[in-house]
Amino acid sequence: MLHTSSLIHLYTHFPLQNQIFPPCSFVCCTLDEEIEQKDLQSNVLPDGAEVSLEDIEHCYDMGRVVGDGNFAVVRECRVRGLAETFAMKIVDNAKLQGRGNMIQNEIALLHSLEHPRLIQLFRSHHTDTHVYLLMELVAGGDLFDAITQSGRFTEPSAACMIRDISQALEYIHSKSIAHRDIKPENLLVQRHGNGSLNLKLADFGLAMVVTEPVFTVCGTPTYVAPEILAETGYGVGVDVWAMGVILFVLLGGFPPFRSPDRNQEELFRLIQKGEVHFLSPYWDNVSEGAKAVVRALLEVSPKRRLTASQTLQHGWLQHAIAQKDHKGAIKATDSMAERRNQQKLSGQVESAENKSDSHKPETLAEKYHAAQTYKNILNYDSDINACDRDQQIQEIHNMTSNQQNASHAEDTTTMNKQYTTDQHKPEKPAQQEDTDTKQE
């Protein structure tokens, strides 16, 4: 069993999914084709080229900063001569601190993948000091934002999201690639003019080709699969487990495995035990078919767990998609429901009747502000130094503790991400960094 002492440090990275972009047109042909059509070859940098800052400025028109992180900044960007707006992720090599292989891994994998449910990388360049990634622009934020805004979703809406995730996983799993960090923050929301939406999978920094059992401990605690914690070797099935956690959150509004006091070892024990409880009243109106899919995705044994392909063929998924109502989030229909929602948002909701406080779930929407503060802090906001960050983290810990928000604190926890060239042998347990920072 994996203990907290096995975690070496909290790994943070810039999440592309947090960008808020204006809408852009669908790129109906490849970037190379459009460049050729407009005879811009002489003005465009070749993919993968080592270039100078002057070359970058000559080729690209950089717009406003739309997000930044501990080692990257993202700007709106246009290729000079083209109308489409892209996202340019600019990575500062000096801030990578030994994680340069993560960027190269992401570039290599994204260049080898092409699917409508995956974020697209068009170009990569590097200078002596920075790496530039020209990427697809997605306007709708991420699934985490959608969950915090809506709380819970109808079965048809949740089914459509799970379909999109399953399609992305089916594609990468067919190429023996495991993403290893499936979570709402890594699922971008693409909104369409008719009000519908699709999800796109992003952030392939931890993805890898799996040809043998992998033992590297990585992921995000709320979504980590039991076989990762058991350190017995794992494969692409860990992504399906994480999808099951997401489905539970979409339908119920809170994670399936929660430690009341934010004890990570207790959370890991619950995950490995794998007992899923559908608490009343949160699950009273959810169909047995939906619950059956949740159980099948959250099957502790990877051999008995559904695959992405099997999920797509499941009767509940197909029926729910056929009944999609396009309305999305559940809305209260009477004054009692309205009052209960207001109580939830103020942190005053009572647990289900005859349930102890130790089993009380909290909706992800309840502490959205605190979660966003954590995400900003753990992305190493340039305006926050280490001492201030530690102080703010402790203050938020105290606040969420007083307001009984332990469940959401777990959900935004980020696990250490270890990198190794030898993926086929158990990692030597590392020492945990002395920090209270356990949320993203």
Q: How far apart are CA 412 and CA 369, in angstroms?
A: 12
pLDDT digits (tens, 9 = 90+) for 87-101: 898 999 988 877 778
pLDDT of residue 366: 47
pTM for this entry: 0.69
The angle, 0 to 180 degrees and rounded to 10, between the axes of the packed helices 386-402 and 368-378 is: 160
Q: How far apart are CA 21 and CA 189, in angstroms?
A: 11
Confidence at 345, pLDDT banded by 50, 70, 90: very low
Structural domain spans, the chain: 20-28+42-135, 143-411
pLDDT of residue 66: 73
Q: How far apart are CA 54 and CA 116, in angstroms?
A: 33
Q: What is the mean pLDDT of the chain?
A: 73
pLDDT of residue 347: 41
pLDDT of residue 71: 78
Confidence at 361, pLDDT banded by 50, 70, 90: low
Burial tier of 87 (Cβ tally within 10 Å: 0-12, 13-18, 19+): buried
Task: For residues 212-237, give the mean pLDDT.
Answer: 96
CB 427 within 8 A of CB 234: no
Task: For residues 70-98, give the mean pLDDT.
Answer: 86
- Weakest mean pLDDT among 232-236, 295-299, 411-415: 411-415
Which residues are registered as beta bridge partners of 74? 67, 89
Q: What percent of the chain has pLDDT over 70?
A: 63
Right CATH for 20-28+42-135 from 3.40.50.300, 3.30.420.40, 3.30.200.20, 1.20.120.530: 3.30.200.20
Task: For residues 228-233, give the mean pLDDT.
Answer: 96
70 CB neighbour count, 10 Å cutoff: 18
The structure tokens 């000096």 sit at 94
Instruction: Please identify every residue annotated as catalytic.
Output: 181
User: How far are the Cα atoms of 126, 177, 235, 344, 428 from residue 207, in angstroms, in the given order?
Assistant: 21, 7, 11, 36, 21
Q: Which CATH class is domain 143-411?
A: mainly alpha
Q: Which residue has the higher pLDDT, 277 or 328?
A: 277
pLDDT of residue 49: 83
Q: How far apart are CA 294 and CA 366, in angstroms?
A: 23
pLDDT of residue 34: 57
Q: Tell whether the model's pLDDT for residue 261 goes beyond 80.
A: yes
First CA to last CA distance, the chain: 24
Task: For residues 29-33, give the mean pLDDT.
Answer: 57
Beta-strand relationship, 130-135 and 197-201:
unpaired
pLDDT of residue 194: 80
pLDDT of residue 214: 97
Rg (C-alpha) for the chain, rounded Å, is 22
pLDDT of residue 207: 94
CB 51 within 8 A of CB 125: yes
Q: Of 124-138, 344-358, 360-374, 378-392, where does the model show the most confidence?
A: 124-138
User: How far are the Cα atoms of 157, 309, 346 from residue 276, in angstroms, in the given order?
Assistant: 22, 23, 27
Q: How far apart are CA 296 and CA 300, in angstroms?
A: 9
Confidence at 30, pLDDT banded by 50, 70, 90: low
Q: How far apart are CA 7 and CA 372, in angstroms?
A: 24
Instruction: Extract the annotated binding site for ATP.
Output: 89
